[in-house]
Amino acid sequence: MNGVDLRGARVLVTGAAGFIGLHASRALAATGATVVGVDNYEPYYDVELKRARADVLRRELGVDVVELDLADPAATRALFADARPTHVVHLAAQPGVRYSLENPAAYLRNNVDAFGHVLEGCRHGRIAHLVYASSSSVYGATHTLPFSEDQPTDTPVSLYAATKKADELFAYSYSHLFRLPATGLRFFTVYGPWGRPDMAPMIFSRAILAGTPISVFNDGDMYRDFTYVDDIVEGVVRVLARPPAATGAIGPAPHAIYNIGNHEAVRLTDFIATLETLWGRKVVRESRPLQPGDMRETYASIDRLTALTGFTPRTPLATGLAHFVAWYRDYYGVRA
């Protein structure tokens, strides 16, 4: 992938049956790395979609995605002992801002406890580099745009965001104490084929095809840094190949944080209109107020990531959504 060579690396991908996990596993395999996948197949959304992604990895790469709960410390220790990874891409998490209001325990278990066990596995396994998923949600009540890594992140407005901020702090501590090279990536809004059912392209496409109304929050006056999944995973792979340096036994921790996104905000109404054009149908829009925990506008400054890796998203929204619609037609058998 654009000159990245990870031959000889053995990469554990957590959440491999997830949306980004599938694409990241493919991209890593393309660099020559050996991929080991794990997923707990959490029924937060359609488990059959997760199984289908795992089938893709099995057919294309010969990767069997092990079913395992990372919140189980003994199981996670055994995973690291058996898999013997040299690198870890930790994508497993409980997603969703709104659901964190309904089931906070799932976020503490899957985003905090599980990550702690992964950190322990990395520590004792002497992992060369841990890359883990954080989120743009950590910026919380910060309203300076674009979001940059220098801005404070101590005002999360959802429990989901708070757990992701906690992950960053835990990772830094492990890097400081045990010299574990670790990089957190603050993902902005990712879209593309094999996306989650609770994400905007899937929600809007189902409504467009069914002729049912869609809820448009804040009158559609919301902006997101929509980034095509292939661009995102290219950034992940490039980062994995560049672990932060440790400077001495008690020097700065080998830990880094980067935004990863498209650095251009797209208005929600424009996003919907592009999907309507691709499907050739209109949708009825019902206005709803801004939801608790949601932010009106997010987009990233990616200057630091670009300087480190040369990462630059290249996929226009219309092109990326066209790929998504083509996949949706094939996967769900939509012929009209």
Q: Which residues form the catalytic set?
A: 160
- Per-residue HEC secondary structure of the chain comes to CCCCCCCCCEEEEECCCCHHHHHHHHHHHHCCCEEEEEECCCCCCCHHHHHHHHHHHHHHHCCCEEECCCCCHHHHHHHHHHHCCCEEEECCCCCCCCHHHHCHHHHHHHHHHHHHHHHHHHHHCCCCEEEEEEEHHHHCCCCCCCECCCCCCCCCCCHHHHHHHHHHHHHHHHHHHHCCCEEEEEECCEECCCCCCCCHHHHHHHHHHHCCCEEEEHHHCCEECCEEHHHHHHHHHHHHCCCCCCCCCCCCCCEEEEEECCCCCEEHHHHHHHHHHHHCCCCCEEEECCCCCCCCECCECCHHHHHHHCCCCCCCHHHHHHHHHHHHHHHHCCCC
* Residues sharing a CB contact under 8 Å with residue 44, sequence separation 6 or more, in sequence order: 94, 95, 96, 99, 106
Q: Which residue has the tokens 């902005």?
A: 188
